[in-house]
Structure 1
Amino acid sequence: MYVTEIEPRVSETDGAGHINNTTIPVWLEAGRHELFRLFTPDLSFEDWKMVIVKTTLEYKKQIYFGEKVEVKMWIKRIGNSSLELYEEIHQKGMLCAKNEAIYVNFNLHTQQTESIPEKIKAELEEHLWPERE
């Protein structure tokens, strides 16, 4: 599991007093930083590999300013050129949002998917989702 801690900002709080729902996908992306570095070590957009093709976000509880959140990410499935993520956002030990996302390993120069290298697959397997749902 990859874990990223985020401190909510005042600007992310909406008129209803909770973190705006449009902020959650941004936080989930922040939790993918190590994944991006795995596929593109120098994080160069010229050689960027990770392209998102699907995301399914479910809001479970409101999130508030003033308390840190944890973004947790697991690898749910590894395919030939794609991978599926399972992600959660927790605040005060409670599950507040969960998401599934599918990424493909994509070559921007050829505009085609590429197989995920075995070395990267081995690293991803260290973070497999324990299927506890």
Structure 2
Amino acid sequence: MDVFGHVNNNKFMVLLEEARVAMMFDTAEEAGLTGFREGVVVARHEVDFLLPVVVPAETSVEIWVERIGNSSFTFAYDLVANGKVALKARSVMVPFNTETQRPRRVTEAERAFLERWTD
């Protein structure tokens, strides 16, 4: 918590990361897709803090794919605390080749998986 008794802003980023990792690794692997585990990086975060959150709080993260490009895709999130949207955010993700240390294109299998999560 911060000095005002609110959940610190960096803790929100951890919650968003947990939602993103669950989708890209756990849910994708259950669907037979392992490409994200081979490499993906965050290129940008955009966060709007709408309401302070104090502990204890019942929280959940809603996550969906907002955009799919040729070499990046964007997750959008709503973090809900005690029934109210407390945060809206976006993360631009870039598939990454860890051997060459270079970005790579979104594969057709990755695109098909991500399209399932668009609104």
- Equivalent pairs counted in the alignment come to 114
Work out whether residues 36 and 95 of structure 2, in 8 Å CA contact, stay in contact via their aligned partners in 1.
Answer: no
Aligned residue in 2 for 1:28: 16
Shift of 1:43: 8.1
**Identity within the alignment, %:** 25
Work out whether residues 68 and 91 of structure 1, in 8 Å CA contact, stay in contact via their aligned partners in 2.
Answer: yes
Aligned residue in 2 for 1:5: none
TM-score by length of structure 2 reads: 0.84
Shift of 1:81: 1.6
Q: Please tell me whether residue 54 in structure 1 is matched to residue 44 in structure 2.
A: yes
Question: In proportion to residue count, which structure has more helix?
Answer: 2
Inter-partner Cα distance in structure 2 for 1:55 and 1:43: 18
Q: Are the structure 2 counterparts of residues 114 and 43 from structure 1 closer, same or farther at C-alpha, using a change threshold of 3 Å? A: closer
Aligned residue in 1 for 2:61: 71
Deviations 1:80-108 (A, max 9, x none): 12101111100121110111110100101
Work out whether residues 36 and 50 of structure 1, in 8 Å CA contact, stay in contact via their aligned partners in 2.
Answer: no
Aligned residue in 2 for 1:119: 109
Gaps of 5+ in 2: none
Work out whether residues 40 and 93 of structure 2, in 8 Å CA contact, stay in contact via their aligned partners in 1.
Answer: yes
What letter is aligned with 1:17? G
Shift of 1:34: 2.7
TM-score by length of structure 1 reads: 0.76
Matches within 5 A, 1:78-117: 78-117=68-107
Gaps of 5+ in 1: 1-12
Deviations 1:34-75 (A, max 9, x none): 33313884986xx3x110111111100011212221111110
RMSD between superposed Cα atoms in Å = 2.1
